[in-house]
């Protein structure tokens, strides 16, 4: 694959990667919102609770978008892989478990996010509901990553995918990476969401100063930790695959994902530290674009690495 073919493939993958990013960010935003709600409840921090509420609301909207996108992409996938329909319905299929976890997460999110105001006097019960949604969300991300690693080689070999009996280092590294990327993406997109909702919600300048700073921090830390998983992931690859990465187009994809991650960190750090983050609102939208670029490169890497490992 030369540079021209790589760019053409990236262009084709950009929309599916965007749909996947929306779903991943929705799951990550649930975790961020749940932790913030618990922290706000313990410390009696009203502004943090308000940020948690907005992030949960965004997660609900993103989840419905992701479901719509998944439904639209299901038909071409079933046509390309005729055996996929049977594998989806098989009780032993990893995707069956992923769908059950995803449905549970969405159900908990639908119960949790809209009831923020109505359950003000039952904050303990509401926080517990959010905690359950966060646990289900983390389980969905982990199971989805593990299931996809098993599914893709099975599709190529026309075998029924099964849960692995033991988790190898590659699967562990990839799962941790996607858990961190989900949280960074959820918080990163919440930056743009807060800016877009600023005039409509009008929670006050003090809130947006706090909310944007907190969102930037929640995006910054997981993305920084995600960078640390890159060396771990690379070390789990076979020697031949490492050579292909360092000497071929896969290296361009890896470098693109790393560069986009570093640029996101460089954008979010000033917003986190700034006393006037609204002046940097352009960085929220640029960060969202970089997340899309990063996830497109990561998706292409994922598809290639699962075929080589």
Domain boundaries, the chain: 3-308
| Average of per-residue pLDDT values in the chain | 86
- Asked whether residue 248 carries a pLDDT value surpassing 90, the answer given is no
Overall average pLDDT of the 277-305 stretch: 91
Query: For residues 6 and 170, is the Cβ–Cβ distance under 8 A?
Result: no
pLDDT computed for residue 290 by the predictor: 97
Tokens of 152: 């893709």
Overall average pLDDT of the 273-284 stretch: 89
Overall average pLDDT of the 111-119 stretch: 89
- Asked whether residue 182 carries a pLDDT value surpassing 90, the answer given is yes
Confidence band, pLDDT 50/70/90 cuts, at residue 269: very high
Of 53, 302, 15, the closest CA to residue 178 belongs to: 302
Give me the phi and psi of 242, to 5 degrees please. Answer: -60, -40
Cβ neighbours of residue 129 closer than 8 Å, sequence gap 6 or more? 108, 111, 112, 115
How far is the CA of 117 from the CAs of 120, 137, 184, in angstroms?
5, 22, 26
Overall average pLDDT of the 254-264 stretch: 95
- Asked whether residue 266 carries a pLDDT value surpassing 80, the answer given is yes
pLDDT cut 70: percent of the chain above it: 84
Of 189, 278, 169, the closest CA to residue 231 belongs to: 169
- Asked whether residue 92 carries a pLDDT value surpassing 80, the answer given is no
pTM listed for this prediction: 0.91
Confidence band, pLDDT 50/70/90 cuts, at residue 213: very high
Confidence band, pLDDT 50/70/90 cuts, at residue 187: very high
Overall average pLDDT of the 264-278 stretch: 92
pLDDT in tens, 34-89: 999 999 888 778 899 999 999 999 999 999 999 887 766 666 665 665 666 666 66
At the topology level, CATH places domain 3-308 in Formate dehydrogenase/DMSO reductase fold (1.20.1630)
pLDDT computed for residue 164 by the predictor: 64
pLDDT computed for residue 156 by the predictor: 63
Query: For residues 21 and 295, is the Cβ–Cβ distance under 8 A?
Result: yes
How far is the CA of 219 from the CAs of 66, 81, 187, 191, in angstroms?
20, 36, 5, 9
pLDDT in tens, 3-44: 667 777 777 878 888 989 999 999 999 999 999 999 988 877
Overall average pLDDT of the 241-268 stretch: 91
Give the relative orientation of helices 3-43 and 281-308 as an angle to the nearest 10 degrees.
Answer: 120
How far is the CA of 211 from the CAs of 57, 75, 204, 215, 281, in angstroms?
14, 40, 11, 6, 12
pLDDT computed for residue 74 by the predictor: 61
Neighbours of 64 (CB within 10 A): 15
pLDDT computed for residue 294 by the predictor: 95
- Asked whether residue 107 carries a pLDDT value surpassing 90, the answer given is yes
């Amino acid at each position: 694959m030369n540079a021209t073919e790589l760019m053409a493939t990236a262009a084709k993958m950009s929309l599916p990667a965007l749909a996947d990013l929306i779903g991943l960010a929705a799951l990550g935003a649930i975790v961020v919102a749940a932790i913030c709600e618990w922290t706000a409840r313990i410390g009696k921090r009203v502004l943090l609770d308000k940020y948690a509420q907005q992030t949960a609301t965004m997660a609900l909207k993103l989840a419905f978008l992701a479901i719509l996108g998944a439904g639209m992409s299901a038909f071409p996938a079933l046509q390309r892989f005729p055996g996929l329909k049977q594998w989806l319905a098989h009780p032993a299929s990893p995707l069956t478990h992923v769908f059950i976890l995803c449905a549970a997460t969405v159900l908990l999110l639908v119960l949790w996010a809209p009831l923020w105001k109505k359950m003000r006097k039952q904050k303990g019960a509401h926080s517990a509901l959010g905690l359950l949604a966060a646990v289900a969300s983390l389980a969905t991300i982990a199971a989805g990553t593990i299931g996809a690693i098993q599914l893709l080689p099975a599709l190529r070999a026309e075998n029924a995918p099964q849960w692995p009996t033991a988790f190898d280092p590659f699967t562990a590294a990839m799962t941790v990476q996607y858990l961190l990327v989900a949280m960074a993406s959820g918080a990163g997109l919440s930056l743009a969401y807060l800016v877009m909702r600023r005039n409509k919600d009008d929670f006050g300048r003090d809130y947006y100063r706090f909310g944007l700073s907190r969102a930037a921090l929640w995006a910054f830390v997981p993305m920084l930790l995600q960078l640390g998983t890159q060396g771990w992931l690379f070390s789990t690859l076979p020697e031949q695959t490492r050579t292909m990465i360092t000497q071929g187009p896969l290296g361009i994809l890896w470098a693109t994902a790393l560069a986009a991650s570093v640029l996101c960190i460089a954008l979010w750090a000033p917003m986190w530290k700034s006393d006037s983050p609204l002046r940097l609102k352009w960085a929220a939208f640029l960060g969202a674009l970089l997340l899309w670029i990063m996830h497109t490169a990561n998706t292409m890497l994922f598809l290639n690495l699962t075929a080589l490992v």
